[in-house]
């Protein structure tokens, strides 16, 4: 927990509750599930992102700000983030043999944000969330308007081309993981990019490949 959020935890009970899924409460017949903290964390996350976007983009109207916000705190982004920090391994979870539903990752992450807020207040929660978003390249999604990787896969499928993404190297810069990835189409390198996550590097490489195929991409 501390390594991900970069804060010193005080009230451990809140974090234990944030990591307690309703399935565990049913089986063990005791304790509170993380659903209330999830509700709180959802609102806190919205406030943090809205506050940031409002300050960073003074000329953007309500519609633009709403679209940018949805790219950052949508369900897929939060599920990916929860999965990236290995949140299920920390959870008190009783799912039996059932596969863990994707939403559990994002819901638990929201609950953890709620726990940090109750424990340390808004200011420290905001700093912790921005740190985590930057580390996992979530804030970069503000400017994503095209899914270049999906566009490239669709074109390759239509034209019977083989597409392959390859990790060339991984390294750290100022404590942040970086990945260099290239994309090959029918064995030929069509794009390379570096990103703070494999997903963002793949998007960058796909964008360059799309530039070769469709012309310059905005």
Active site residues: 42, 110
- The helix/strand/coil state of 54 is helix
Q: Where are the alpha helices (DSSP H) in 19-147?
A: 22-28, 35-56, 62-72, 75-84, 87-90, 102-120, 122-135
Rounded Cα–Cα distance for residues 216 and 144 (Å): 16
| Residues contacting 201, CB < 8 A, separation 6+ | 179, 180, 181, 193, 194, 195
């Amino acid at each position: 927990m501390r390594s991900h959020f970069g804060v010193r935890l005080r009230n451990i009970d809140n974090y234990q509750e944030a990591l307690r899924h309703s399935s565990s409460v049913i089986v063990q017949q005791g304790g509170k599930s993380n659903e209330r903290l999830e509700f709180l964390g959802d609102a806190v996350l919205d406030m943090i992102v809205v506050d940031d976007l409002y300050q960073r983009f003074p000329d953007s109207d309500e519609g633009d700000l709403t679209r940018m916000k949805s790219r950052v705190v949508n369900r897929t982004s939060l599920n990916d983030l929860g999965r990236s920090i290995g949140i299920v391994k920390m959870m008190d979870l009783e799912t039996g043999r059932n596969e863990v539903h994707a939403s559990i990752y994002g819901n638990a992450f929201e609950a953890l944000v709620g726990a940090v807020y109750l424990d340390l207040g808004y200011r420290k929660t905001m700093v912790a969330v921005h740190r985590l978003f930057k580390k996992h390249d979530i804030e970069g999604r503000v400017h994503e308007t095209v899914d270049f990787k999906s566009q490239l896969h669709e074109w390759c499928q239509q034209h019977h081309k083989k597409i392959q993404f390859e990790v060339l190297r991984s390294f750290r810069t100022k404590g942040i993981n970086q990945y260099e990835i290239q994309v090959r189409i029918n064995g030929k390198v069509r794009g390379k990019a570096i990103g703070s996550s494999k997903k963002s590097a793949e998007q960058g490489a796909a964008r360059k490949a799309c530039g070769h195929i469709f012309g310059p991409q905005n």
